[in-house]
Structure 1
Amino acid sequence: MNKYKNLLSWVVIMVFMMTIMLPVTPAYAAFSVSDLLGQATAANDSSVATGMSTGKGMLDILLGLLLGKFFGNAFNGSTTMVTKDNSASGLINSSPKEFVGFYAEWWGADTSSYNSMVKNTDVIKTIAPFWATMQADGTVIDRGGNDHAAVVKTAQQKDMTVLLLVNNAKQDNTTAPVHTVLANPALRTKAIDNFEAYIKKYNLDGINVDFEMVPAEDRDNLTAFMRELSARLKPQGLIVTIDVFPKQNENNDVAAAYDYAELANYADKIMIMAYDNHGMWSGPGPIADIGWVENNLKYALKFIPKNKLYLGIAAYGYDWSAQGTQSLEYKAIMDLSQRYGQAVQWDDAAKSPYFSYTAADGIAHTVWFESSESIKHKLALITKYDIAGAAMWKLGEEDPGVWPILRDKFHK
């Protein structure tokens, strides 16, 4: 009997010695039975070539579980554990995500963005109110709307960052106003002076530059502008962001002015406007075909760090007919569907909803739009590629059903 006890004691001692001699597993590793079994399987597969016994794989599992339990408890609470995402991609999602709401008031009494903002303060981390337009002489025109100071105060009390969204005046002759400013160092400085004054007037947290249809020849000028803007605002603790057109190569004329890699050196956040795949300049089609969105995102990630990249998503739709193309918010689209008794269809390839109807005047219409279901598929890309977050144009136009989905992913 004593002989067996001695033998058992030696076995316990040997197992203990083997345990302490094993390499210590890093504290940040994710311990799970499936992870360990996966590692053991890989080891067993390679053992065919190396002559290692499968018994070592089983011992590794037992010792791994023991060490995992021990070190997991030891470091619990002091180290953030990397968790495996449950999305279909199966990729690791380790960074917090931010939801940005673009904010606009189309007339003085338009409170749709404000109402959406105050209802969802637990989701929205940043708003970018569309309050200013840069002119060809570097001045900044206030677009009007509701009481700016009251909006800023409400947002900041709810722990939201407020960025001034400033766009460029549209071309009304042979020379684009944005080219006039960007190509002239003195006018760039004047515009930056005016942006800074506006930000300080309303106690804003930074700026969102939304320069669109910038001539390709101004690629370096736009970069210089963002470098100078950053040098002015960032030392004051202000946030500098920019919206960019999507692209999948550098041959896209309307997006050529955005030097993704260079802009990433100066912008804290870059919102890729991955919508308007079809719009007022085209025939009917998806606002943001999921394949098109993903390809644009993958291209952007070649140049922009993922922790600075935000996926722009739409909340609206378009109605195409022989009379022209009209942009509509979700509620108006649903009203059309019900009025003409047309059920919403689903394009599974594009992951987009649509329907057609014939108006009372006999004119045929086709409507494509964004819904909670279509947006859900785009949000999955944020998880798949582990980018910084999403930016939605605009608050107040969305399908109300999208908020539970956003709340699940972006809850502050």
Structure 2
Amino acid sequence: MILGYTLGSGDSDKSLTAFNKYFNTIATDTFSFDEDGYLIGEAPKEQLSYAKKKNINTYAVISNFGEQDFDADLAHQVMTDKLVKNRFIKQVAKVAEENGYTGVNIDLEAVYPEDRIPLSSLIKDISAVLHDNQIKLMVSVPAKTNDDKDNAWTWPYDYEKIGNYADYIQVMTYDEHGSWGSPGSLVSMKWLENTLSYSINNIKASKVLMGIPAYGYDWNLTDASKNRIVQWDEIQTLTKNDKIKPTYNKKTESVMFNYRDKNKQEHVVWYENETAIEKKTKLVKKYKLGGVSVYALGNETKAFWGAIQKGVK
């Protein structure tokens, strides 16, 4: 499977139209839910119609993204309140059936550590209902190299149990470093291989989808509050500046460069170029994975998709 995540924006529509020959599945990231288990959001009808015309499979992403970030309380509510949980599961199945989705992608992030068992239970119950209706289940999980109780971000996800219930596990093998911390590769080769090794030791390899980011991070070394995501196409524009000299880091198999902005503040940017993407997607074959996922459609280029195509051959 080569999966591209779409957002509810015109940019995703453009990428879907321009690059659809490079992927066979999309996941539309347009649904969340409230504290009572009711879904919020709408299916992007035009994207689904176009995907159907092109024989592209479709998944409905359902996340616990709240007003500003992922909401642990929302996730806790649908996992632990029986009435809310049952309503949520019915809503999930209904939105998939009514919109002709191939499957559902559950994306619960920032889950409380104490909700590890309830999370696995929720996935089990969703799986049973969806499979009764011939609907596939994909679950997104943060990447990890071990099952560490002290890591509050990754501990809630019991790979083995979730992997037993789901048809696919989308491992978010990106954001090893990010705007919230110190500069570094988003997905260094050693870290990626370690996360994939852990994944396939606990999940059937053919169920595992490796993640590739279609973005980088820009760290403002003067003012960390201005750290930000930079999209793939913006990076290409930045690197056309003669004063910017991208450096390929052989240790991480990623790219970085420094620059000074108009306010004379120093920045460092890390991202994946075509060479890095091709090398990393080759791991799909090495580890006999189910495929690769890209977050997200909208700001990538033909060269980006060409690198993925070469890597998975």
TM-score, L = length of structure 2: 0.92
Aligned to 1:328: 230
Query: Partner residue of 2:166?
Result: 267
| Contact kept? 1:260, 1:303, Cα under 8 Å | yes
User: What secondary structure does 1:120 align onto?
Assistant: helix
Contact 2:285 2:312 in 1 (8 A): no
Runs of 4+ in structure 1 displaced over 6 angstroms? 171-175
Pairwise CA RMSD: 2.0
Does the CA contact (< 8 Å) of 1:358 and 1:365 recur in 2? yes
1:206: how far off? Answer: 1.3
Deviation (angstroms), 1:175: 6.5
Taking structure 1 as the reference length, the TM-score comes to 0.71
> Secondary structure of 2:77's match?
helix
Is this contact kept in 1: 2:215–2:271, CA < 8 A?
yes
Which of the residues 88, 104, 121 maps onto 2:7? 104
Q: Which of 382, 385, 400 pairs up with 2:287? A: 385
Counterpart position of 1:164: 60
Shift of 1:194: 1.4
Q: How far apart are 1:408 and its partner, in Å?
A: 4.0
> What residue number does 2:25 align with?
126
The residue type paired with residue 130 of structure 2 is L
SS at match of 1:254: coil
Residue number among 249, 252, 255 corresponding to 1:350 in the alignment: 252
Higher mean C-alpha deviation, range 111-120 or range 254-263:
111-120
- Is there any run of 5+ residues in structure 1 with no aligned partner, and where? 1-97
Kindly indicate whether residue 112 of structure 2 is the aligned counterpart of residue 196 of structure 1.
no
1:150 aligns with 46
Alignment correspondent of 1:367: 269
Task: Give the 3-state SS of the residue equivalent to 1:209 in structure 2.
Answer: strand
Change over 3 Å in CA distance of 1:220–1:200 after alignment to 2: same
Higher strand share goes to which structure? Answer: 2
SS in 2 for 1:231: helix
Q: Measure, in 2, the Cα distance between the counterparts of 1:325 and 1:190.
A: 39
- Please list the CA deviations of residues 42-61 of structure 1 after superposition, one character each: whole Å capped at 9, or x if unmatched: xxxxxxxxxxxxxxxxxxxx
Distance (Å, rounded) in 2 between the aligned partners of 1:233 and 1:153: 22
User: Which has the higher mean CA deviation after the structures are superposed, 358-367 or 335-344?
Assistant: 335-344
Corresponding residue for residue 83 of structure 2: 186
The answer to whether structure 1 residue 401 and structure 2 residue 303 are counterparts is yes
Q: Cα offset for 1:400? A: 2.8
Q: Does 1:240 align with 2:137?
A: yes
- Match of 1:4? none
State the shift of 1:232 in Å: 0.7
User: Equivalents in 2 of 1:121, 1:399: separation in Å?
Assistant: 12
Q: Does the 8 Å CA contact 1:135/1:169 hold for their aligned counterparts? A: no
Q: 1:262 aligns to what SS in structure 2?
A: helix
